[in-house]
């Protein structure tokens, strides 16, 4: 419902596709094992990717640099095809020509294990994403044909975890003193900036900008 009202227009499907890519970083289904910080007091030393002891959910050793799919967990980024983000899943093939770049910070998905369970940490030191300062960006671009012509589009969005003292009302996150942060997405997160360009529809530029701040490090 939120996506329909917020995005709207004939390009709803492309925009839902774009924003859904970030969800895989939250769920890590079939990608890389990760967890929250429930065992944060278990140990005081951190296991790094360089140790060769951290694994993906498929049992593969996570290494530094880009893997075969385009994930670079050490550098907190993904760069590759949209379907590569999903390990070339069969359902994704209609979108295989879309390119995707994602970046995130340590609170969103860490590149180390600090609680000793062998998995990459999420929002380490916090009870949830709320108040953790987690953020992620998503940049997608592609092309499509219509009436014999090729049109190009690109999409960019910034998403942040809501501050600990923020509150949500009517599908919008607000600061404690009532200033609009941005639309609620996936419960704990807010969109703070969104840009869409499409040579076929004439859409161009900024679609949303948080009245509080579009700075990724502002919300914590």
In tens, the pLDDT along 148-164 reads 999 999 999 999 999 99
What pLDDT is recorded for position 51? 94
- Asked whether residue 8 carries a pLDDT value surpassing 60, the answer given is no
CA distance 153 to 146: 13
Counting Cα atoms < 13 Å in the Cβ hemisphere of 167 gives 5
CA distance 57 to 55: 7
CA distance 200 to 144: 9
Nearest to 36 by CA among 137, 118, 148, 128: 128
In tens, the pLDDT along 77-136 reads 999 999 998 888 898 888 889 999 999 999 999 999 998 878 899 999 999 999 999 999
Under 8 Å CB-to-CB from 156, ≥6 apart: which residues?
137, 138, 139, 140, 193, 194, 195, 196
Nearest to 207 by CA among 196, 216, 215, 199: 196
What pLDDT is recorded for position 20? 63
In tens, the pLDDT along 9-60 reads 345 466 556 556 666 666 553 455 565 555 455 456 899 999 999 987 777 8
182 dihedral zone (left: phi>0; alpha: psi -120 to 50; beta): left
What pLDDT is recorded for position 12? 46
Counting Cα atoms < 13 Å in the Cβ hemisphere of 17 gives 25
CA distance 73 to 119: 12
What pLDDT is recorded for position 107? 96
């Amino acid at each position: 419902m939120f996506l329909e009202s917020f995005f709207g227009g004939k390009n709803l499907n492309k925009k839902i596709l774009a924003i859904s890519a970030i969800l895989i970083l939250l769920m890590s289904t079939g990608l890389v094992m990760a967890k929250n910080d429930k065992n944060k007091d278990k140990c005081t030393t951190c296991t790094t990717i360089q140790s060769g002891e951290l694994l993906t959910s498929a049992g593969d050793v996570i290494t530094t640099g880009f893997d075969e799919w385009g994930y670079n967990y050490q550098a907190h980024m993904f760069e590759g095809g949209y379907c590569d983000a999903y390990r070339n899943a069969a359902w994704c093939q209609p979108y295989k020509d879309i390119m995707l770049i994602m970046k995130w910070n340590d609170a969103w998905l860490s590149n180390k294990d600090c609680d000793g369970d062998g998995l990459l940490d999420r929002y380490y030191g916090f009870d949830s994403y709320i108040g953790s300062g987690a953020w992620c960006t998503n940049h997608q671009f592609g092309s499509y044909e219509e009436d014999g012509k090729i049109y190009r589009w690109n999409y960019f969005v910034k998403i942040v975890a809501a501050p600990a003292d923020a509150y949500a009302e009517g599908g919008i996150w607000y600061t404690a003193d009532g200033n609009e942060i941005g639309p609620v997405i996936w419960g704990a997160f807010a969109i703070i900036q969104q840009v869409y360009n499409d040579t076929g529809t004439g859409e161009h530029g900024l679609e949303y900008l948080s009245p509080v701040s579009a700075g990724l490090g502002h919300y914590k």
